[in-house]
Amino acid sequence: MARVDLTVMGGGIFGLACAWEAVRRGARVRVIEADRIGSGSSGGLVGALSPHVPENWNPKKQFQLESLLMAKEFWDGVEGASGLATGYARLGRLQPLEDAAAVARARGRAEEAALLWQGQADWTVEPAPAGGGWAPVSPSGLVVRDTLSARLHPRLAARALCAAIRAGGAEVVEGAGADASPPTGGAVIWATGHAGLLALGADLGRAVGGGVKGQALLLRHDARDQPQLFAGGLHVVPHVDGTVAIGSTSENEWTDGAAVDAQCDALLARALEACPALRGAQVTERWAGVRPRARSRAPMLGHWPGRPGHFVANGGFKIGFGMAPKVAEVMADLVLEGRDALPEGFRVTDSLRGAA
């Protein structure tokens, strides 16, 4: 492919999703990945697609809601084009409630969800599942069940996206190196993770974000048809391949972003306490990686200031897979059609306000 309409720098979830949406709209696309597809934080283990709490509503929460509601059609399309599984399933989520105060808050949020989620998903307070099966320990005996949460297998999803992009006639270049640059001509989307946020900040002369290390682990336990759990600050996510992912830490200080240490073991201990059904399950993998987080904590999208034809799609942090369908849509609108549908607070220029 000699000349393209769009070059996407970065083969993580935001880059691949944007490339796929552009291919779907008929654009000629090239993806350039410095290492290999999913080699960064998008090649992790967890894959929790979960909503923010339905209260104090804002554009970020609305955007995420729309993206979660788009997810099934988006990932079905990827599977259809690639012939590969992504591990997507909208099976909901259970959260234990600690005490009467937590129960009261949860019931208030149920009323908010009924209004804000527009009848497309439920947030209910109900008795914790009995019988010692797949359920979190709940001191109150009650849990929140939401039907908006879904799960995705990050590595399967990245592989399927790459295959779908290639099946659509686009080019995916892996192993291009950290210093790879896009060809001249055509638009460019920079989706290069935490290193890209640092490069953007250096170019603009101010800090706009960076990386937060996370550690996670994978257990051999088949709960593939069960909802995910969120207990004690941990995501416990059953996957389609008969594993359960546990994650994750959030480390602002670290020396080796790929190193697994005692903090990962602590995750396991907390998970076994929160979900006794996992006791005795074999640990099959421990993982560490660095996730990109913008200073605003919202994704950083839109024009790269001072670089005509260059755009940024970064800062997915812990919600990148959940945000990806909607991010891809609005970035394709902007880059290919010149329509700015980015929500308040997501633009690169919004993120620069107050940055030093």
Give residue-wise pLDDT tens across range 253-276.
999 999 999 999 999 999 999 999
DSSP string of 67-113, one letter each residue: HHHHHHHHHHHHHHHH------B---EEEE--SHHHHHHHHHHHHHH
Confidence of residue 183 (pLDDT cuts 50, 70, 90): confident
Eight-class DSSP state of 134 = S
Average pLDDT over residues 233-259: 96
- Is residue 178 very low, low, confident or very high in pLDDT (cuts 50, 70, 90)? confident
Side-chain-side CA neighbours of 218 within 13 Å: the count stands at 19
Give percent of the chain with pLDDT exceeding 70. 99
Q: Decide if 88 contacts 71 (C-beta within 8 A).
A: yes
79-88, 139-148, 290-299: which range is least confident on average?
A: 290-299
pLDDT at 45 over 70: yes
- State both tokens at 308: 């005509």
Stretch 332-351: mean pLDDT: 93
The token duo for 83 is: 């012939």
Fold: same for 6-86+153-210+295-352 and 93-148+212-290: no
pLDDT of residue 356: 45
The per-residue pLDDT for 38 is 84
Confidence of residue 297 (pLDDT cuts 50, 70, 90): confident
Mean local confidence (pLDDT), 178-186: 87
Alpha-carbon gap, residue 299 to 306, rounded angstroms: 20
Q: Where are the domains of the chain?
A: 6-86+153-210+295-352, 93-148+212-290
- Do the beta carbons of residue 291 and residue 316 sit within 8 Å? yes
Instruction: Please determine, for residue 121, whether its predicted confidence score (pLDDT) is greater than 80.
Output: yes
Distance CA 349, CA 327 (A): 17
Residues 132-169: tens digit of each pLDDT: 789 999 999 999 999 999 999 999 999 999 999 999 99
Question: Taking the alpha carbons of 293, 122, 325, 332 in that order, is the dihedral positive or negative?
Answer: negative
- Per-residue pLDDT, averaged over 331-350, amounts to 94
Q: Considering the domain 93-148+212-290, what is its CATH architecture?
A: 2-Layer Sandwich (3.30)
* pLDDT tops 90 at residue 1: no
- Report yes or no: 145 and 124 within 8 Å, Cβ to Cβ: yes
> Residue 175 in contact with residue 36, Cβ under 8 Å?
yes
Rg (CA), the chain: 20
353, pLDDT greater than 80: no
Q: What is the rounded CA–CA span in Å between residue 149 and residue 49?
A: 6
Per-residue pLDDT tens for 196-219?
999 999 999 999 999 999 999 999
Number of Cβ within a 10 Å radius of residue 49: 28
Residue pointed to by tokens 């009323």:
111
What stretch of H or E contains 62? Answer: helix 59-82
| Structural fold of domain 6-86+153-210+295-352 | FAD/NAD(P)-binding domain (3.50.50)
Amino acid 313: pLDDT: 98
Q: Does position 351 have pLDDT exceeding 80, yes or no?
A: no
What average pLDDT is seen over the chain?
Answer: 95
**Is the pLDDT reported for residue 355 higher than 70?**
no
What's the rounded Cα separation, in Å, for the pair 33 and 17?
14
* Nearest by Cα to 240 from 89, 81, 76, 93: 89
Check residue 174 and give its pLDDT: 95
pLDDT at 185: 85
Q: Give the pLDDT confidence score for residue 107 in this predicted structure.
A: 97
* Per-residue model confidence (pLDDT) at position 354: 53
Q: Which two tokens stand for residue 196?
A: 């890209």
Tell me what the mean pLDDT of segment 119-137 comes to.
92
Q: How far apart are the first and last CA of the chain?
A: 41
- pLDDT value, residue 350: 82
For 137, what's the count of Cα atoms within 13 Å in the CB-facing half-sphere?
A: 12
Q: Which of 224, 214, 322, 223 is nearest to 275 (CA)?
A: 223
Q: Please name which of 268, 50, 36 lies closest in space to residue 155, comparing C-alpha atoms.
A: 36
